Amino acid sequence: MNNKTYEGFDSSNFITFLFQWRRTFFIVALFAALLSVIFSMPYFITPLYKSQVVLFPTSTNSISKALLSTNYAAKEDILEFGEDEQIEQMLQILNSNKIRDSIISKYNLSQHYEIRKNDAYRYTKLYRYYESNIKFKRTENSAVKIIVFDKDAQMAADIANDIAVMYDVVKNNMKRVRAEKAFRIVEREFNKIKLEVKTKEDSLTVLRKLGVHDYESQSEMINRQLAMEIAKGNNSNIKRLESKLDILAQYGGPYVSLRDALEHDKKQLSEIRAKYEEAKVDAEQDLPQKFIVNTAYKAEKKSYPIRWLIVVLSILGSLFLSVLVIITFEQLEKLQVKKKA
C-alpha cells in the first residue's frame, strides 16, 4: 500500500486523490494495456471477417395474377417492394432450418468450426456457432441484412451470397408444393369438362346426320311447307315432310337438351381454361423473390476483435477497479485507526 499521508476520501479532494496515486494508476493502466494487447492477439482470439447482403422482399406471390390475370383489381406489380408482412416472412424463412442445414452441409461447418463428431452436444454447439456467426436483421429502410462473420473472409462472403440464393429456392419450393396440388385439381376439372364437351359434340354430330340441325327453325319451316303441300294436295311431298317431322319429334328434344348443355359447358370450359393456364404457370414457373441491393464481397480487414476498443475498455475498467480497491482499503484503515483511538 502506498504510504502517503492521505486522510480519507470525499468528492472535494478526488483530483488530489488521483494525483497522489498517479503512479499506481499509471502502472495499472500500462499493465492492463499490455495484457489486453497480448490476449487480443489472433493466438487467443480468432479474428473474424464480416460480409453482408442487403435485400428487399418482393410483394408478388402469384405469377399468374401478376402477369396473366385480366382482372385489374387482382393484378400485382412484380416490381413492387414488399412491406412489413413480406419482411417478416423473409426473416422467418431466412431463419428456417432448411437454409441452415443446407449451408451447414455445403460448407461442412461442423469441421470448419472444429466440432468433433463424438462430442456429446455436437449439434447444439454447431447451431450455437451458426447463430452467433450468421445473423439476419431488419434495417431502418425496411430492407433485410444477411450478416456473416467467419475466420475465412472468402467463405463469409460466399455464405452470405448463398443464403440469399437459398431464400429464393426455399420460398419457391414452398409455393410450388401448394401450386402443383392446385394445378392438379384444376387440371382434373378441366379435362372432365373438356371430355363432356367432346361427348356432347359427338352426340350432336350423330343427330345432325339424322337430319336434326336446328330444331326450332327446321320445325317451323317444315310445318310451313307442309301446310302449303296440303293445300296443293301433293301427297308425296306431304309424306316426305311428315317423315321429317317424325324425325324432329323423335330427336328434337334430345337435340335441344344437348345443344343447351353444350353451350353451358363451353362457357364453363372457357372460364376454367383461364384458371388452368394460371395454375399451370404458378406450378411450373418461378420468379425471384427478392431485390438484391448489395451482394457480399471478400472483406480486406477483420471486423472482430476491435483491438483498440478492447485496450481502451481494459484500461478504463482496470482504473475504475483500482479506484474502488484503493478507496475501500483506505476506508478500512481509517476505521481501524478510529477503533484504536
Question: Distance between CA 247 and CA 34 in Å, rounded?
Answer: 114
Give me the chain's average pLDDT, please.
Answer: 81
Weakest-pLDDT range from 5-19, 105-119, 140-154, 232-246: 5-19
Rounded to an integer, the average pLDDT of 26-36 is 85
Question: Distance between CA 296 and CA 140 in Å, rounded?
Answer: 19
Rounded to an integer, the average pLDDT of 300-313 is 79
| pLDDT at residue 4, as a whole number | 46
Convert the pLDDT of each residue in 317-332 to its tens digit: 888 898 888 888 877 8
Convert the pLDDT of each residue in 94-109 to its tens digit: 999 999 999 999 999 9
Rounded to an integer, the average pLDDT of 239-263 is 77
Weakest-pLDDT range from 26-30, 156-160, 223-227, 295-299: 223-227
| pLDDT at residue 341, as a whole number | 65
147: β partners: 52, 135
Predicted confidence (pLDDT) at residue 93 exceeds the cutoff of 60: yes
Residues 6+ apart with CB under 8 A from 239: none
Type of residue found at 315 = I
| pLDDT at residue 26, as a whole number | 86
The pTM for the full model equals 0.69
| pLDDT at residue 52, as a whole number | 94
Predicted confidence (pLDDT) at residue 119 exceeds the cutoff of 50: yes
Predicted confidence (pLDDT) at residue 284 exceeds the cutoff of 50: yes
Rounded to an integer, the average pLDDT of 168-187 is 89
| pLDDT at residue 6, as a whole number | 45
Convert the pLDDT of each residue in 141-172 to its tens digit: 889 999 999 999 999 999 999 999 999 999 98
pLDDT band per the 50, 70, 90 thresholds, residue 5: very low
Predicted confidence (pLDDT) at residue 130 exceeds the cutoff of 90: yes
